[in-house]
Amino acid sequence: MSLQLYLFTISFLKARQVYFQILFPIKRFLNTFRSYNKFIHLDIKNVPASYFPIIDHQKNKGEHKFTLLNIEHDFRETIDWNISIHGKLWNYKLQYLDFLLDPDLEVGERNEYLLDISKKILDKSLTLEPYPVSLRLVNSLLFINQCKVEDELICQAILKQIHFLESNLEYHIDGNHLLENAITLRFCCQFISNEKLKSFAKKFLSTLLKEQILNDGAHFERSPMYHFQILNRLTTLIGVLDISESDYNEIIQYLQKMYSWLIILTRSGKYFPFLQDSTGNYLKGFLKLEEFLISKGLEKKFCELKDSGYRILESDKLFAIANIVSTSPSFQPGHSHADAGSFVLYYKDSPVFVDRGISTYEVSETRSLERSTAGHNTVNLNGKNQSEMWSSFRVGRRARTLLEFESKRQFKLSCKPFYNSLVEHNRNFEFMEQSLIIIDSVSGYDNEICEARLYCDHACSVENNEHTVKVNGLWVRFENALHLQLISYQQALDFNLCRSATCIVISFRNSLTTRIHV
Protein backbone atom coordinates (compact mmCIF):
# COMPACT_ATOMS: atom_id res chain seq x y z
CA MET A 1 0.00 0.00 0.00
CA SER A 2 1.41 3.37 -1.02
CA LEU A 3 1.32 6.46 1.17
CA GLN A 4 -0.62 8.24 -1.58
CA LEU A 5 -3.35 5.57 -1.56
CA TYR A 6 -3.59 5.81 2.21
CA LEU A 7 -3.87 9.61 2.09
CA PHE A 8 -6.56 9.51 -0.63
CA THR A 9 -8.56 7.11 1.56
CA ILE A 10 -8.21 9.28 4.67
CA SER A 11 -9.16 12.45 2.78
CA PHE A 12 -12.80 11.29 2.57
CA LEU A 13 -13.17 10.59 6.29
CA LYS A 14 -14.97 12.87 8.73
CA ALA A 15 -12.69 14.78 11.09
CA ARG A 16 -14.38 12.88 13.93
CA GLN A 17 -13.43 9.56 12.32
CA VAL A 18 -9.79 10.58 11.96
CA TYR A 19 -9.67 11.71 15.58
CA PHE A 20 -11.14 8.45 16.87
CA GLN A 21 -9.01 6.34 14.50
CA ILE A 22 -6.03 7.77 16.36
CA LEU A 23 -7.68 7.51 19.78
CA PHE A 24 -9.20 4.03 19.41
CA PRO A 25 -5.97 1.96 19.69
CA ILE A 26 -5.08 3.91 22.83
CA LYS A 27 -8.52 3.27 24.32
CA ARG A 28 -8.28 -0.41 23.40
CA PHE A 29 -5.00 -0.65 25.32
CA LEU A 30 -6.40 1.21 28.33
CA ASN A 31 -9.48 -1.05 28.34
CA THR A 32 -7.33 -3.84 29.77
CA PHE A 33 -7.02 -1.78 32.95
CA ARG A 34 -10.62 -0.57 33.25
CA SER A 35 -13.28 -2.45 35.20
CA TYR A 36 -16.42 -0.87 33.69
CA ASN A 37 -18.43 -1.09 36.89
CA LYS A 38 -20.50 2.07 36.49
CA PHE A 39 -23.81 0.19 36.25
CA ILE A 40 -22.85 -2.89 38.26
CA HIS A 41 -25.12 -1.92 41.19
CA LEU A 42 -28.24 -1.70 39.01
CA ASP A 43 -30.92 -4.35 38.72
CA ILE A 44 -31.91 -5.76 35.34
CA LYS A 45 -35.67 -5.36 34.97
CA ASN A 46 -38.08 -7.81 33.38
CA VAL A 47 -39.51 -6.15 30.27
CA PRO A 48 -42.22 -7.65 28.04
CA ALA A 49 -40.78 -8.27 24.54
CA SER A 50 -43.19 -8.73 21.63
CA TYR A 51 -40.71 -9.45 18.80
CA PHE A 52 -38.00 -12.08 18.49
CA PRO A 53 -35.98 -12.21 15.25
CA ILE A 54 -35.74 -15.49 13.32
CA ILE A 55 -32.51 -17.33 14.16
CA ASP A 56 -30.83 -19.88 11.91
CA HIS A 57 -29.94 -23.12 13.67
CA GLN A 58 -26.27 -22.51 14.45
CA LYS A 59 -25.38 -25.30 16.85
CA ASN A 60 -26.09 -28.98 17.31
CA LYS A 61 -28.26 -29.82 20.29
CA GLY A 62 -26.22 -31.23 23.17
CA GLU A 63 -22.88 -30.75 21.39
CA HIS A 64 -20.21 -28.04 21.25
CA LYS A 65 -20.57 -28.00 17.46
CA PHE A 66 -21.39 -24.74 15.67
CA THR A 67 -22.14 -24.03 12.01
CA LEU A 68 -21.57 -20.35 11.26
CA LEU A 69 -21.12 -18.77 7.83
CA ASN A 70 -21.42 -22.30 6.38
CA ILE A 71 -18.31 -23.47 8.26
CA GLU A 72 -18.72 -26.13 10.94
CA HIS A 73 -16.48 -26.28 13.99
CA ASP A 74 -16.58 -28.79 16.82
CA PHE A 75 -15.09 -27.43 20.05
CA ARG A 76 -15.56 -30.85 21.68
CA GLU A 77 -15.04 -29.90 25.34
CA THR A 78 -14.49 -26.17 25.89
CA ILE A 79 -15.52 -23.17 23.79
CA ASP A 80 -12.71 -20.90 22.64
CA TRP A 81 -14.53 -17.58 22.37
CA ASN A 82 -11.39 -16.04 20.83
CA ILE A 83 -11.10 -18.58 18.00
CA SER A 84 -9.60 -17.05 14.84
CA ILE A 85 -8.87 -19.94 12.44
CA HIS A 86 -12.05 -19.32 10.43
CA GLY A 87 -11.57 -15.55 10.18
CA LYS A 88 -12.72 -12.56 12.19
CA LEU A 89 -16.32 -12.59 10.97
CA TRP A 90 -16.78 -16.25 12.04
CA ASN A 91 -15.54 -15.34 15.51
CA TYR A 92 -17.87 -12.34 15.59
CA LYS A 93 -20.82 -14.57 14.67
CA LEU A 94 -19.92 -16.92 17.50
CA GLN A 95 -19.71 -14.05 19.97
CA TYR A 96 -23.10 -12.59 18.94
CA LEU A 97 -24.78 -15.54 20.72
CA ASP A 98 -27.68 -15.61 18.26
CA PHE A 99 -28.33 -19.19 19.33
CA LEU A 100 -29.59 -17.92 22.70
CA LEU A 101 -32.87 -17.22 20.88
CA ASP A 102 -33.06 -20.67 19.26
CA PRO A 103 -36.16 -22.33 20.79
CA ASP A 104 -34.98 -25.78 19.66
CA LEU A 105 -32.13 -25.67 22.18
CA GLU A 106 -32.74 -26.44 25.83
CA VAL A 107 -32.80 -23.40 28.12
CA GLY A 108 -30.18 -24.99 30.36
CA GLU A 109 -27.83 -25.52 27.42
CA ARG A 110 -28.15 -21.91 26.27
CA ASN A 111 -27.72 -20.69 29.83
CA GLU A 112 -24.52 -22.73 30.15
CA TYR A 113 -22.95 -20.95 27.17
CA LEU A 114 -24.05 -17.53 28.35
CA LEU A 115 -22.60 -18.22 31.78
CA ASP A 116 -19.33 -19.44 30.26
CA ILE A 117 -18.81 -16.33 28.10
CA SER A 118 -19.91 -14.14 31.02
CA LYS A 119 -17.10 -15.57 33.15
CA LYS A 120 -14.62 -14.88 30.33
CA ILE A 121 -15.85 -11.29 30.13
CA LEU A 122 -15.55 -10.75 33.85
CA ASP A 123 -12.05 -12.22 34.12
CA LYS A 124 -11.01 -10.27 30.97
CA SER A 125 -9.89 -13.36 29.06
CA LEU A 126 -12.29 -12.27 26.30
CA THR A 127 -11.40 -8.94 24.73
CA LEU A 128 -14.49 -6.79 24.33
CA GLU A 129 -15.22 -5.16 20.97
CA PRO A 130 -18.13 -2.74 20.48
CA TYR A 131 -19.84 -4.40 17.51
CA PRO A 132 -20.14 -7.97 18.88
CA VAL A 133 -20.94 -6.49 22.30
CA SER A 134 -23.86 -4.60 20.71
CA LEU A 135 -25.42 -7.70 19.20
CA ARG A 136 -24.61 -9.93 22.18
CA LEU A 137 -26.27 -7.56 24.65
CA VAL A 138 -29.58 -7.64 22.75
CA ASN A 139 -29.55 -11.45 22.52
CA SER A 140 -28.52 -11.84 26.17
CA LEU A 141 -31.21 -9.50 27.50
CA LEU A 142 -33.93 -11.08 25.37
CA PHE A 143 -32.87 -14.54 26.55
CA ILE A 144 -32.70 -13.87 30.30
CA ASN A 145 -35.91 -11.87 30.04
CA GLN A 146 -37.82 -14.59 28.18
CA CYS A 147 -36.42 -17.57 30.12
CA LYS A 148 -36.45 -15.90 33.54
CA VAL A 149 -32.71 -16.40 34.09
CA GLU A 150 -31.43 -14.91 37.34
CA ASP A 151 -27.69 -15.48 37.57
CA GLU A 152 -25.48 -12.93 39.30
CA LEU A 153 -22.44 -13.49 37.05
CA ILE A 154 -24.51 -13.22 33.87
CA CYS A 155 -26.11 -9.98 35.10
CA GLN A 156 -22.74 -8.52 36.09
CA ALA A 157 -21.31 -9.32 32.64
CA ILE A 158 -24.30 -7.67 30.94
CA LEU A 159 -23.99 -4.52 33.08
CA LYS A 160 -20.25 -4.38 32.47
CA GLN A 161 -20.81 -4.59 28.70
CA ILE A 162 -23.39 -1.78 28.77
CA HIS A 163 -20.81 0.48 30.43
CA PHE A 164 -18.15 -0.68 27.97
CA LEU A 165 -20.37 0.07 24.97
CA GLU A 166 -21.27 3.52 26.28
CA SER A 167 -17.54 4.28 26.58
CA ASN A 168 -16.42 2.74 23.27
CA LEU A 169 -18.88 3.83 20.61
CA GLU A 170 -17.50 3.17 17.13
CA TYR A 171 -17.07 6.75 15.97
CA HIS A 172 -13.88 5.69 14.17
CA ILE A 173 -15.87 3.40 11.85
CA ASP A 174 -19.25 5.16 11.82
CA GLY A 175 -21.88 3.72 9.42
CA ASN A 176 -23.90 0.68 10.43
CA HIS A 177 -21.51 -0.11 13.29
CA LEU A 178 -22.26 3.15 15.08
CA LEU A 179 -25.98 2.81 14.41
CA GLU A 180 -25.97 -0.72 15.88
CA ASN A 181 -24.22 0.71 18.97
CA ALA A 182 -26.94 3.35 19.30
CA ILE A 183 -29.84 0.91 18.88
CA THR A 184 -28.36 -1.39 21.52
CA LEU A 185 -27.79 1.42 24.03
CA ARG A 186 -31.40 2.50 23.59
CA PHE A 187 -32.53 -1.13 23.95
CA CYS A 188 -30.53 -1.60 27.17
CA CYS A 189 -32.12 1.49 28.70
CA GLN A 190 -35.43 -0.39 28.88
CA PHE A 191 -33.82 -2.97 31.17
CA ILE A 192 -31.90 -0.73 33.58
CA SER A 193 -32.82 2.49 35.38
CA ASN A 194 -30.44 5.27 34.42
CA GLU A 195 -32.09 8.42 33.13
CA LYS A 196 -28.82 10.06 32.07
CA LEU A 197 -27.91 7.14 29.80
CA LYS A 198 -31.48 6.93 28.50
CA SER A 199 -31.55 10.62 27.58
CA PHE A 200 -28.22 10.30 25.76
CA ALA A 201 -29.29 7.10 23.98
CA LYS A 202 -32.51 8.68 22.70
CA LYS A 203 -30.73 11.73 21.27
CA PHE A 204 -27.85 9.66 19.89
CA LEU A 205 -30.14 7.23 18.07
CA SER A 206 -32.33 10.04 16.71
CA THR A 207 -29.28 11.87 15.34
CA LEU A 208 -27.92 8.77 13.62
CA LEU A 209 -31.27 7.81 12.10
CA LYS A 210 -31.59 11.28 10.60
CA GLU A 211 -28.11 10.97 9.12
CA GLN A 212 -28.11 7.36 7.97
CA ILE A 213 -31.67 6.75 6.72
CA LEU A 214 -32.10 8.44 3.34
CA ASN A 215 -35.27 10.20 2.20
CA ASP A 216 -36.40 7.19 0.17
CA GLY A 217 -35.98 4.95 3.23
CA ALA A 218 -32.68 3.22 2.42
CA HIS A 219 -29.84 2.90 4.87
CA PHE A 220 -27.09 5.06 3.37
CA GLU A 221 -24.64 2.18 2.82
CA ARG A 222 -27.19 0.90 0.24
CA SER A 223 -26.72 -2.79 1.07
CA PRO A 224 -30.07 -4.66 1.26
CA MET A 225 -28.45 -7.09 3.73
CA TYR A 226 -27.35 -4.40 6.20
CA HIS A 227 -30.56 -2.48 5.61
CA PHE A 228 -32.55 -5.55 6.65
CA GLN A 229 -30.35 -6.19 9.68
CA ILE A 230 -30.82 -2.62 10.93
CA LEU A 231 -34.56 -2.79 10.24
CA ASN A 232 -34.67 -6.06 12.18
CA ARG A 233 -32.78 -4.52 15.09
CA LEU A 234 -35.06 -1.46 15.20
CA THR A 235 -38.06 -3.78 15.14
CA THR A 236 -36.59 -5.69 18.10
CA LEU A 237 -36.22 -2.35 19.89
CA ILE A 238 -39.85 -1.40 19.22
CA GLY A 239 -40.78 -4.78 20.66
CA VAL A 240 -39.61 -3.66 24.13
CA LEU A 241 -40.68 -0.01 23.96
CA ASP A 242 -43.90 1.19 25.48
CA ILE A 243 -46.00 3.40 23.23
CA SER A 244 -45.72 6.16 25.84
CA GLU A 245 -41.95 6.51 25.29
CA SER A 246 -41.11 9.93 23.81
CA ASP A 247 -39.14 8.45 20.89
CA TYR A 248 -41.61 5.67 20.03
CA ASN A 249 -43.36 7.49 17.17
CA GLU A 250 -40.09 8.68 15.64
CA ILE A 251 -38.74 5.13 15.51
CA ILE A 252 -42.03 3.88 14.02
CA GLN A 253 -41.72 6.50 11.26
CA TYR A 254 -38.23 5.29 10.36
CA LEU A 255 -39.44 1.70 10.43
CA GLN A 256 -42.15 2.63 7.92
CA LYS A 257 -39.66 4.28 5.57
CA MET A 258 -37.19 1.41 5.76
CA TYR A 259 -39.92 -1.19 5.38
CA SER A 260 -41.32 0.58 2.29
CA TRP A 261 -37.87 0.66 0.68
CA LEU A 262 -37.40 -3.05 1.22
CA ILE A 263 -40.88 -3.82 -0.13
CA ILE A 264 -40.07 -2.27 -3.49
CA LEU A 265 -36.53 -3.65 -3.69
CA THR A 266 -37.70 -7.21 -2.94
CA ARG A 267 -40.85 -6.84 -5.05
CA SER A 268 -43.02 -7.45 -2.00
CA GLY A 269 -40.85 -10.23 -0.63
CA LYS A 270 -40.44 -12.32 -3.79
CA TYR A 271 -36.64 -12.22 -3.80
CA PHE A 272 -33.69 -10.61 -2.04
CA PRO A 273 -31.22 -8.92 -4.43
CA PHE A 274 -27.50 -9.03 -3.67
CA LEU A 275 -26.41 -5.42 -4.12
CA GLN A 276 -23.18 -4.03 -2.66
CA ASP A 277 -22.14 -6.23 0.29
CA SER A 278 -25.18 -8.51 0.45
CA THR A 279 -25.48 -12.27 0.66
CA GLY A 280 -27.59 -14.99 2.28
CA ASN A 281 -31.32 -15.74 2.32
CA TYR A 282 -33.19 -13.10 4.29
CA LEU A 283 -36.66 -13.62 2.80
CA LYS A 284 -37.95 -15.83 5.62
CA GLY A 285 -36.83 -13.29 8.20
CA PHE A 286 -38.30 -10.43 6.16
CA LEU A 287 -41.73 -12.09 5.98
CA LYS A 288 -41.83 -12.62 9.77
CA LEU A 289 -40.68 -9.06 10.35
CA GLU A 290 -43.33 -7.78 7.92
CA GLU A 291 -46.07 -9.61 9.82
CA PHE A 292 -45.01 -7.95 13.07
CA LEU A 293 -44.70 -4.47 11.53
CA ILE A 294 -48.20 -4.69 10.06
CA SER A 295 -49.50 -5.69 13.50
CA LYS A 296 -47.94 -2.44 14.77
CA GLY A 297 -49.97 -0.43 12.27
CA LEU A 298 -47.35 0.01 9.53
CA GLU A 299 -48.64 0.08 5.96
CA LYS A 300 -47.53 -2.08 3.07
CA LYS A 301 -46.87 0.83 0.74
CA PHE A 302 -44.31 1.53 -1.95
CA CYS A 303 -41.77 4.33 -2.05
CA GLU A 304 -40.09 6.04 -4.99
CA LEU A 305 -36.40 5.22 -5.21
CA LYS A 306 -34.28 8.37 -5.40
CA ASP A 307 -31.56 9.08 -2.83
CA SER A 308 -30.37 5.46 -2.58
CA GLY A 309 -29.10 5.55 -6.17
CA TYR A 310 -31.13 2.59 -7.41
CA ARG A 311 -33.70 2.65 -10.17
CA ILE A 312 -36.34 0.02 -10.90
CA LEU A 313 -37.77 -0.90 -14.30
CA GLU A 314 -40.59 -3.43 -14.30
CA SER A 315 -43.40 -5.08 -16.22
CA ASP A 316 -45.49 -8.19 -15.56
CA LYS A 317 -42.62 -10.49 -16.54
CA LEU A 318 -39.45 -8.41 -16.18
CA PHE A 319 -38.04 -6.69 -13.10
CA ALA A 320 -34.70 -4.86 -13.14
CA ILE A 321 -32.77 -2.92 -10.49
CA ALA A 322 -29.94 -0.67 -11.69
CA ASN A 323 -27.28 1.18 -9.70
CA ILE A 324 -26.63 4.70 -10.93
CA VAL A 325 -24.13 6.01 -8.37
CA SER A 326 -20.56 5.41 -7.26
CA THR A 327 -19.38 4.38 -3.78
CA SER A 328 -21.51 5.70 -0.93
CA PRO A 329 -21.43 7.24 1.63
CA SER A 330 -18.15 8.95 0.87
CA PHE A 331 -16.79 8.71 4.44
CA GLN A 332 -17.74 5.03 4.89
CA PRO A 333 -17.77 3.13 1.58
CA GLY A 334 -16.57 -0.14 3.15
CA HIS A 335 -19.56 -2.13 1.90
CA SER A 336 -19.69 -0.45 -1.53
CA HIS A 337 -18.59 -2.02 -4.80
CA ALA A 338 -17.13 -0.48 -7.97
CA ASP A 339 -20.37 -1.13 -9.84
CA ALA A 340 -21.89 2.08 -11.23
CA GLY A 341 -24.20 1.14 -14.12
CA SER A 342 -24.55 -2.47 -12.99
CA PHE A 343 -27.99 -4.08 -12.80
CA VAL A 344 -29.82 -7.27 -11.85
CA LEU A 345 -32.72 -8.72 -13.83
CA TYR A 346 -35.54 -11.12 -12.94
CA TYR A 347 -37.80 -12.87 -15.44
CA LYS A 348 -41.08 -14.38 -14.27
CA ASP A 349 -39.85 -13.84 -10.70
CA SER A 350 -36.71 -15.93 -11.23
CA PRO A 351 -33.20 -14.40 -11.22
CA VAL A 352 -31.51 -14.23 -14.62
CA PHE A 353 -28.69 -11.66 -14.41
CA VAL A 354 -27.39 -11.31 -10.87
CA ASP A 355 -24.78 -9.60 -8.76
CA ARG A 356 -22.21 -12.34 -8.22
CA GLY A 357 -22.55 -11.83 -4.46
CA ILE A 358 -19.98 -11.94 -1.67
CA SER A 359 -18.50 -15.04 -0.06
CA THR A 360 -15.84 -13.56 2.23
CA TYR A 361 -14.66 -10.44 4.05
CA GLU A 362 -11.10 -11.71 4.37
CA VAL A 363 -8.38 -9.80 2.48
CA SER A 364 -8.04 -12.00 -0.60
CA GLU A 365 -8.24 -12.20 -4.37
CA THR A 366 -11.84 -13.41 -4.00
CA ARG A 367 -12.84 -10.38 -1.93
CA SER A 368 -11.19 -8.04 -4.45
CA LEU A 369 -12.97 -9.70 -7.38
CA GLU A 370 -16.37 -9.63 -5.70
CA ARG A 371 -16.04 -5.86 -5.16
CA SER A 372 -14.57 -5.14 -8.59
CA THR A 373 -16.07 -3.55 -11.70
CA ALA A 374 -15.29 -6.72 -13.67
CA GLY A 375 -17.30 -8.63 -11.05
CA HIS A 376 -20.54 -6.86 -12.02
CA ASN A 377 -22.99 -6.47 -14.89
CA THR A 378 -21.40 -3.37 -16.36
CA VAL A 379 -18.48 -2.30 -18.58
CA ASN A 380 -14.85 -2.51 -17.47
CA LEU A 381 -11.88 -1.04 -19.28
CA ASN A 382 -8.87 -3.32 -19.35
CA GLY A 383 -9.99 -4.95 -16.09
CA LYS A 384 -9.60 -1.71 -14.09
CA ASN A 385 -11.98 -0.68 -11.34
CA GLN A 386 -14.10 2.46 -11.62
CA SER A 387 -13.04 3.39 -8.08
CA GLU A 388 -9.79 2.58 -6.30
CA MET A 389 -10.77 -0.47 -4.25
CA TRP A 390 -8.21 -1.94 -1.87
CA SER A 391 -7.96 -4.22 1.15
CA SER A 392 -11.37 -5.60 2.25
CA PHE A 393 -13.25 -2.38 2.99
CA ARG A 394 -11.12 0.48 1.70
CA VAL A 395 -11.64 2.86 -1.22
CA GLY A 396 -9.14 5.49 -2.37
CA ARG A 397 -10.01 7.72 -5.32
CA ARG A 398 -13.61 7.52 -6.52
CA ALA A 399 -15.39 7.35 -9.85
CA ARG A 400 -17.59 10.31 -10.72
CA THR A 401 -21.11 9.45 -11.82
CA LEU A 402 -23.90 11.63 -13.14
CA LEU A 403 -27.53 10.86 -13.95
CA GLU A 404 -27.83 12.57 -17.33
CA PHE A 405 -31.48 11.86 -18.07
CA GLU A 406 -34.41 10.12 -16.43
CA SER A 407 -38.01 9.31 -17.31
CA LYS A 408 -40.42 6.58 -16.25
CA ARG A 409 -38.99 3.96 -18.62
CA GLN A 410 -35.59 5.31 -19.53
CA PHE A 411 -32.51 6.78 -17.87
CA LYS A 412 -28.93 7.51 -18.82
CA LEU A 413 -25.88 7.79 -16.60
CA SER A 414 -22.23 8.64 -17.15
CA CYS A 415 -19.23 7.35 -15.21
CA LYS A 416 -15.70 8.75 -15.23
CA PRO A 417 -13.21 6.32 -13.63
CA PHE A 418 -10.80 7.53 -10.96
CA TYR A 419 -7.68 6.94 -13.07
CA ASN A 420 -8.53 9.16 -16.10
CA SER A 421 -10.98 12.06 -16.14
CA LEU A 422 -10.97 12.08 -19.97
CA VAL A 423 -12.43 8.58 -20.15
CA GLU A 424 -16.20 8.37 -19.87
CA HIS A 425 -18.59 5.44 -19.95
CA ASN A 426 -22.20 6.29 -20.79
CA ARG A 427 -24.92 3.70 -20.22
CA ASN A 428 -28.52 4.16 -21.35
CA PHE A 429 -31.34 1.93 -20.05
CA GLU A 430 -34.59 1.81 -22.03
CA PHE A 431 -37.40 -0.41 -20.83
CA MET A 432 -40.41 -1.71 -22.73
CA GLU A 433 -43.11 -4.18 -21.75
CA GLN A 434 -41.26 -7.17 -23.16
CA SER A 435 -37.67 -5.94 -23.42
CA LEU A 436 -34.75 -4.06 -21.90
CA ILE A 437 -32.31 -2.23 -24.17
CA ILE A 438 -28.91 -1.15 -22.83
CA ILE A 439 -26.71 1.14 -24.92
CA ASP A 440 -23.09 1.54 -23.83
CA SER A 441 -20.69 4.09 -25.29
CA VAL A 442 -17.09 4.75 -24.22
CA SER A 443 -15.20 7.92 -25.12
CA GLY A 444 -11.62 9.03 -24.48
CA TYR A 445 -10.31 5.46 -24.53
CA ASP A 446 -8.39 5.63 -27.83
CA ASN A 447 -10.46 2.98 -29.60
CA GLU A 448 -9.25 0.31 -27.17
CA ILE A 449 -11.18 -2.90 -26.57
CA CYS A 450 -13.78 -2.67 -23.80
CA GLU A 451 -15.51 -5.51 -22.00
CA ALA A 452 -19.10 -5.88 -20.80
CA ARG A 453 -20.17 -8.72 -18.54
CA LEU A 454 -23.48 -10.36 -17.67
CA TYR A 455 -23.45 -12.75 -14.72
CA CYS A 456 -26.15 -15.42 -15.02
CA ASP A 457 -27.76 -17.06 -12.02
CA HIS A 458 -26.47 -20.57 -11.28
CA ALA A 459 -29.91 -22.06 -12.00
CA CYS A 460 -30.04 -20.61 -15.53
CA SER A 461 -29.50 -22.57 -18.71
CA VAL A 462 -27.36 -20.59 -21.17
CA GLU A 463 -27.14 -21.22 -24.91
CA ASN A 464 -24.72 -19.33 -27.18
CA ASN A 465 -25.44 -18.71 -30.87
CA GLU A 466 -22.85 -16.25 -32.24
CA HIS A 467 -23.99 -12.77 -31.12
CA THR A 468 -27.23 -14.00 -29.53
CA VAL A 469 -27.55 -15.83 -26.22
CA LYS A 470 -30.63 -17.54 -24.78
CA VAL A 471 -30.86 -17.44 -20.99
CA ASN A 472 -33.83 -19.17 -19.34
CA GLY A 473 -36.29 -18.18 -22.06
CA LEU A 474 -34.88 -14.66 -22.53
CA TRP A 475 -33.10 -13.74 -25.75
CA VAL A 476 -30.07 -11.48 -25.47
CA ARG A 477 -28.68 -9.94 -28.65
CA PHE A 478 -25.47 -7.90 -28.88
CA GLU A 479 -24.90 -5.31 -31.61
CA ASN A 480 -21.35 -4.12 -32.45
CA ALA A 481 -19.80 -6.94 -30.42
CA LEU A 482 -16.31 -8.03 -31.49
CA HIS A 483 -16.30 -11.27 -29.56
CA LEU A 484 -18.60 -13.15 -27.21
CA GLN A 485 -17.67 -15.97 -24.86
CA LEU A 486 -19.20 -17.89 -22.00
CA ILE A 487 -17.00 -18.42 -18.96
CA SER A 488 -17.58 -20.17 -15.65
CA TYR A 489 -17.59 -18.26 -12.37
CA GLN A 490 -18.41 -18.93 -8.72
CA GLN A 491 -21.70 -17.30 -7.69
CA ALA A 492 -21.75 -16.55 -3.97
CA LEU A 493 -25.06 -17.50 -2.34
CA ASP A 494 -23.78 -16.88 1.17
CA PHE A 495 -20.52 -16.58 3.05
CA ASN A 496 -18.35 -19.57 2.12
CA LEU A 497 -21.11 -21.00 -0.11
CA CYS A 498 -20.71 -20.76 -3.89
CA ARG A 499 -22.23 -22.43 -6.96
CA SER A 500 -20.75 -22.71 -10.43
CA ALA A 501 -22.53 -20.43 -12.90
CA THR A 502 -22.05 -18.83 -16.32
CA CYS A 503 -20.87 -15.32 -17.18
CA ILE A 504 -21.33 -13.80 -20.65
CA VAL A 505 -18.28 -11.72 -21.65
CA ILE A 506 -18.67 -9.33 -24.58
CA SER A 507 -15.76 -7.45 -26.17
CA PHE A 508 -16.41 -4.24 -28.15
CA ARG A 509 -14.94 -0.92 -29.24
CA ASN A 510 -16.58 2.42 -28.50
CA SER A 511 -20.21 1.26 -28.39
CA LEU A 512 -22.37 -1.77 -27.67
CA THR A 513 -26.13 -2.30 -27.78
CA THR A 514 -27.59 -5.12 -25.70
CA ARG A 515 -31.19 -6.13 -26.39
CA ILE A 516 -32.82 -8.37 -23.81
CA HIS A 517 -36.31 -9.52 -24.76
CA VAL A 518 -38.90 -12.16 -24.01
Assess contact for 35 and 159: CB atoms under 8 A.
Answer: no
What's the number of domains the chain is made of? 3
Q: Which of the residue ranges 12-21, 157-166, 461-470 would you say has the lowest mean pLDDT? A: 461-470
The predicted-structure confidence for 193-215, as pLDDT tens digits, reads as follows 999 999 999 999 999 999 999 99
Q: Is residue 206 part of a domain?
A: no
Residues 238 and 348 placed together within one structural domain of the fold:
no
Domain end among 253, 281, 303: 303
C-alpha distances in angstroms, 417 versus 414, 423, 508? 10, 7, 18
* Three-state DSSP string of 455-513: EECCCCCEEEECCEEEECCEEEEEEEEEEEEEEEEEEEEECCEEEEEEEEEEEEEEEEE
Is the CB of residue 81 less than 8 Å from the CB of residue 126? yes
pLDDT at 368: 97
Domain match, 224 and 269 both: yes
The helix (run of H) or strand (run of E) holding residue 514 is strand 497-517
pLDDT tens, 327-364?
Answer: 999 999 999 999 999 999 999 999 999 999 999 999 99
Verify that 57 and 163 share a domain, yes or no: yes
* Residue 60 or residue 393, greater confidence: 393
Whether the predicted pLDDT of 466 surpasses 90: no
Range of the domain at 263: 213-303
| Whether this model's pTM surpasses 0.85 | yes
User: Could you tell me if residue 200 is inside a domain?
Assistant: no
Is 287 in the same domain as 320? no
At 71-82, the pLDDT tens digits run 999 998 899 999
Inter-residue contact 399 to 326 (CB < 8 Å): yes
CATH number, domain with residue 426: 2.70.98.70
What are φ and ψ of residue 133, in 5° steps? Answer: -60, -40
Q: Which tens digits make up the pLDDT trace of 401-416? A: 999 999 999 999 999 9
- The answer to whether 247 and 205 have CB atoms below 8 angstroms apart is yes
Q: Is residue 23 part of a domain?
A: yes
- What is the edge-to-edge ordering of all strands in the sheet holding 350-353? 310-314, 318-323, 343-347, 350-353
When pLDDT is cut at 50, 70 and 90, the band that residue 314 belongs to is very high
Q: Of the candidates 262, 278, 303, which is a domain's last residue?
A: 303
Q: Is the residue at 176 inside a domain?
A: yes
Length of the chain: 518
Q: What is the pLDDT of residue 56?
A: 78
Look over the chain and give the mean of its residue pLDDT values, rounded to a whole number. 95
Inside any domain, residue 202: no
Percent of the chain's residues with pLDDT above 90: 90
In terms of domains, do 175 and 72 share one?
yes
207 domain-assigned: no
Is 197 contained in some domain?
A: no
Same structural domain for residues 377 and 468? yes
Q: Within this chain, do residues 292 and 321 fall inside the same structural domain, yes or no?
A: no
Which of 303, 323, 351 is the last residue in one of the domains? 303
